[in-house]
Amino acid sequence: MSASIPNPALDPAVIRARDVEDVAVGDQIVRHRLSNRLIHWSVALAFTVALLTGMPIWTPIFGWMAALFGGLSVCRWLHPWAGSTFFLASLVMFFRWLSEMILLPSEKDWFGSKLFAYMRHETIDDWETGKYNGGQKIFFFAVSLGALGLLASGVILWFPLSFPQWLRELGILLHEITFILFAVAIVFHIYLGTGAEPGTFRSMTRGTVARSWARLHHPRWYREITGDQSRHP
Ligand code: HEM
């Protein structure tokens, strides 16, 4: 007889995570409620479609990607719509998470060596790390600013005849630079959200994390929710 595998849908913490977050349920803590997870994955999906339809338009080296969507003309049509969807979803995400992402004076030192250490996945031992660390907050604002830059430059490229030549050239430059920076940042983001920190990815799927994960990576957030003052061993 096969061992019974617990059904996540019946997990009390996963059920609570449909409506609330920042609460402890048994040995788990709800980190992202369902609506916030849905908006995050909408951003990620729209970003992926915009990326995959934009690359073959950008250069013939990635021309083969056009076949995924039925050809280059489909990509040319779909790309601005996927980009606009990405911007709108990012706007919703921005206003939902803004209050939790304000950088504290003590987090200013994240602009520099600490950020690079985080991207290299070195353990940052900071007893005062709240729900998001400084690196996550900087990433959040970079994403929001990048989405705005991509929209502004993208609209110029979408309706080229409405803008003067110099603005069109500036638009192309801004679109390319922003997209390249974005693509690099997303690679680090996916690495840190999956393989680099086991237990993180499920915060965006089930909505929950283990207490030990919270105490290790976000000790102040853990203390605020549980009242437990003990340090991670
Ligand atoms: C397969 C792709 C992706 C994966 C696996 C992923 C994973 C995650 C995870 C696990 C978190 C929660 C981290 C935590 O609670 O500590 C998160 C947060 C976040 N994600 Fe993603 N994500 C992906 C794509 C994207 C994309 C494309 C964007 C934006 C363009 C994005 C923007 C964000 C932001 C702003 C946050 C909050 C700040 C942070 O935790 O870094 N994500 N993501």
Ligand 1 centre distance from Cα of residue 30 (Å): 16
Confidence (pTM) = 0.92
Residue 135: C-alpha distances to residues 29, 30, 111, 185 (Å): 22, 21, 8, 11
What local confidence, expressed as pLDDT, does residue 5 receive? Answer: 59
Task: Take atom 4 of ligand 1 and give the residue whose Cα is closest.
Answer: 190
pLDDT digits (tens, 9 = 90+) for 46-62: 999 999 999 999 999 99
DSSP 8-state code for residue 102: P
pLDDT digits (tens, 9 = 90+) for 115-164: 777 676 666 668 889 999 999 999 999 999 999 999 999 999 999 999 99
Ligand 1 in reach of 209 Cβ (< 6 A) = no
**Range 184-191 average pLDDT:** 93
Helix axes 72-97, 34-58, angle to 10 degrees: 150
Domain range list for the chain: 21-226
The whole-angstrom separation of Cα 217 and Cα 214 is 5
Ligand 1 centre distance from Cα of residue 11 (Å): 23
Locate 203 and state its tokens.
């915060």
The whole-angstrom separation of Cα 90 and Cα 151 is 11
The whole-angstrom separation of Cα 25 and Cα 6 is 16
What local confidence, expressed as pLDDT, does residue 121 receive? Answer: 66
The whole-angstrom separation of Cα 194 and Cα 187 is 11
Ligand 1 centre distance from Cα of residue 153 (Å): 24
Ligand 1 in reach of 40 Cβ (< 6 A) = yes
Q: Tell me the average pLDDT of the chain.
A: 91
**Range 183-196 average pLDDT:** 90
The H helix count followed by the E strand count for the chain is 8, 3
Ligand 1 centre distance from Cα of residue 232 (Å): 25
Ligand 1 in reach of 186 Cβ (< 6 A) = yes
The total number of residues shown for the chain amounts to: 233
Does the structural domain 21-226 have CATH classification 1.10.10.60?
no
Contact assessment for residue 168 and residue 157, using Cβ atoms and an 8 Å cutoff: yes
Ligand 1 in reach of 44 Cβ (< 6 A) = yes
Contact assessment for residue 96 and residue 39, using Cβ atoms and an 8 Å cutoff: yes
Q: Residue 31: how many CA atoms within 13 Å on its side-chain side?
A: 25
